[in-house]
Amino acid sequence: MKQVLLFLCSVLLSFPCHAQPGKQLVLGQTDSIPSTLLKEQRKFYVHVPSSASGKEGANKRYPVVYLFDADAQFAATTSLIQYLSTNYNTVCPEMIVVGLLHSDRRKDLTPTHVTTDPPFWAPGTSKTTGGGEKFIAFIEQELIPYIDRHYPTRPDKLLIGHSLGGLTVMQIFVHHTRLFNAYICIDPSMWWDKQTLLKETKRALEQRSFQGTALYLGIANTAEQDMELPAVRADTTAETLHMRSVLQLQRYLETNKHNGLKYQGKYYKDESHMSVPFITEYEALRFLFGAGRK
């Protein structure tokens, strides 16, 4: 798999070399709206497929990918979707990509407020946590309607999030399921607030129907070197809490097949928390759009 990704990356990186000299290559544009709910101007990035331009693209409409942490994820995700939708053996359709920016990601991407700073957080950074529901209301009531009015969208919507962004993916999946058709959840911080959302997810998966919804879960190896999965699951230390929580989520998703959810997940033994997003998105797109290997 690493050889596949290295090849794909080389193709993506070499692509601009074929552009005409002096012609600027544009991946997307910056847009913003004043949010009444959040009481601030919210910026985001938007990529629209090049096929939307000109007379031939006047009537084209596209599914929309919404992506958290755009400052870190937008370029790679957009390039991947461009490549997989416009070259040989198309994996996924062309899509609009909306990358959300966060002036305070710990406020936007946490479902509950905590009074104690989690490990590795700077002192005092937990003060603004717990703004997730208000942020989701902004997405549903302000951002999505704006995107649908100003860009050539179709109703199909996909949400992607990593780490705290993955936590918010699960918050929306559990409490606002129909807001998106499909979810890519990448190594989510399910340890948050004594695993509160993890427990809520377990109950939802056991009791509710998720028919018509799809979810792909990517799991990184964040345990100590050479620590095998059984040892991680049996461990009780803080060092493995993140990984144990994601593995519990995986188990809940795998053992509730009665609820109609289209689900696939994978543990990437050789990927860290920060390296896992790209390979997860690649394989998730293949899963979601039914692209078989040849």
Q: What average pLDDT does the segment 271-278 reach? A: 97
What's the pLDDT score for residue 275? 97
pTM recorded for the entire structure: 0.92
**How many angstroms separate the first and last alpha carbons of the chain?**
14
pLDDT-based confidence at residue 121 (cuts at 50, 70, 90): confident
pLDDT-based confidence at residue 294 (cuts at 50, 70, 90): very low
The CA distance from 134 to 141, in Å, is 10
Report pLDDT digits (tens) over 53-100: 888 878 999 999 999 999 999 999 999 999 999 866 689 999 999 999
pLDDT at residue 22 tops 80: no
Fold of 27-53+60-288: Rossmann fold (3.40.50)
- What is the SS3 string spanning 59-71? CCCEEEEEECCHH
Q: What average pLDDT does the segment 141-153 reach? A: 98
% of the chain residues with pLDDT over 90: 81
Report pLDDT digits (tens) over 218-269: 999 999 888 999 999 999 999 999 999 999 999 999 999 999 999 999 999 9
Q: What is the mean pLDDT of the chain?
A: 91
* Domain map (residue ranges) of the chain: 27-53+60-288
β-strands 40-47, 96-100: how paired?
Answer: antiparallel
Least confident of 118-127, 165-174, 239-248: 118-127
| 193-206 as b/e: b if 16+ CB within 10 A | bebebbeebbebbe
Report pLDDT digits (tens) over 204-213: 999 999 999 9
